[in-house]
Amino acid sequence: TSAYNIAVIPGDGIGKEIMPHVQAVLEKATQGLVHFNYETFDLGAERYLRDGSTLPDDELERIKTKDAILLGAVGDPRIKAGIIERGLLLKLRFALDQYINLRPSKLYDGVKSPLANPGNIDFVVVREGTEGLYVGAGGAIRRGTPHEVATEVSINTAFGVERVVRYAFALAMKRRKHVTLVHKKNVLTNAGDMWQRIVDAVAKEFPEVTTDYQHVDAATIFIVTDPSRFDVILTDNLFGDILTDEAGAVVGGVGYSASANINASNEYPSMFEPIHGSAPDIAGKGIANPTAAILSTALMLRHLGIDAPADRIEVAVEADIKESATAQRFTAEVGADILARL
């Protein structure tokens, strides 16, 4: 049996509640095949409130030595928005150069979509993970005065765009061979134009892949009115964040939406987490759906090249959803039901 070192960051709110079920499923699915050495990191709101740290350098360095990272969710209403999100989650994505944020959306058999005619929803959003409005370029001056100025600058580099564009086309080759670039090039004429030119250039190398383009505002319409038209949606960091919550909603809720933050050059560990947050509105009630986080472990296994257990987890989750998705279940019940199918 081969061994892998995994950093576990349960985080805050429902992240803490789902992580034990995630690890239990991962353990059972890989039993006898793979050995995981887990190191759990005490990072998130409690740690910050205790000693003011979000991600100390020595812990980041330790995380860098791991094969992969499992993260629950972070964010806490007691702490000013952005401190944990930027200081921990985005710091990890940036420091580990996780430039591909892969977010599949699939309407599973048995889940009730809020759409009357959802059709066959099965698309993947390839969201750029290290650039755009997320880099933190900009600042505030004259803060608190009537003349306050606040800027956030969107950084888009040809290097950063090209690598995510190539990834999207390569992924499309393994799927239905269609890439939709989503941007706002009618207004964001600098970045939008660069994204489109790079897509056009890379598309020439993938003659079997068809491409189209949608402005992000229109894309939000089609995700609701005609989601089956999408195969691979390629977009920037902020648009991808927004579109994937919407996509989560149309496939029955973000409780089913897995994600992977991938350093595709494999220089650093990749990170696997659900797309949802710490859900303070339901935290502590034991009702969070652990499915998205469990499906994220299947993405981790595939990234590590451990395909058979990934298949097992996906099959177990699909069967569980088919039988029980409409039932009201506690987190622990969903975890136990999925575990029992493995």
Q: Residue 278 CB: number of other CB atoms within 10 A?
A: 24
Minimum CB distance to ligand IPM smaller for 30 or for 237: 237
Q: Which of 48, 99, 108, 134 is catalytic?
A: 134
What x-and-dash track marks residues 225-244 binding Mn ion by CB under 5 A?
Answer: ----------------x---
Residue 332: DSSP 8-state: H
Q: How far is CA 101 from the centre of its chain?
A: 6
261 binds, among ligand IPM, Mn ion, ligand NAD, none (CB under 5 to 8 A by kind): none
Residue 127: DSSP 8-state: E
Minimum CB distance to ligand IPM smaller for 192 or for 274: 274
Query: Is 99 tagged catalytic?
Result: no
Question: How far apart are CB 93 and ligand IPM at their closest, in Å?
Answer: 8
Query: Is 217 tagged catalytic?
Result: yes
Please tell me whether 279 is known to bind a ligand: yes
* Exposure b/e, 32-58, CB count within 10 A at least 16 = b: eebebeeeebebbbebbeeeeebbeee
Please tell me whether 310 is known to bind a ligand: no
298 binds, among Mn ion, ligand IPM, ligand NAD, none (CB under 5 to 8 A by kind): none
Query: Is 12 tagged catalytic?
Result: no
Please tell me whether 127 is known to bind a ligand: yes
Q: Which of 97, 241, 320, 337 is catalytic?
A: 241
Minimum CB distance to ligand IPM smaller for 13 or for 309: 13
Q: Which residue has the tokens 């029980």?
A: 324
Query: Is 134 tagged catalytic?
Result: yes
**Residue numbers at the binding site for ligand IPM (CB under 6 A):** 75, 85, 89-90, 241, 275, 277
**Residue numbers at the binding site for ligand NAD (CB under 6 A):** 14, 73-75, 85, 89, 254-255, 273, 276-282, 288-289, 292
Length of the chain: 342
Q: What are phi and psi of 183, to 5 degrees?
A: -155, -155
Q: Residue 322 CB: number of other CB atoms within 10 A?
A: 12
CA distances for 322 relative to 288, 307, 338, angstroms: 18, 22, 12
Distance CA 336, CA 342 (A): 10
Just list the catalytic residues.
134, 184, 217, 241, 245
Task: List the binding residues for substrate.
Answer: 93, 103, 127, 217
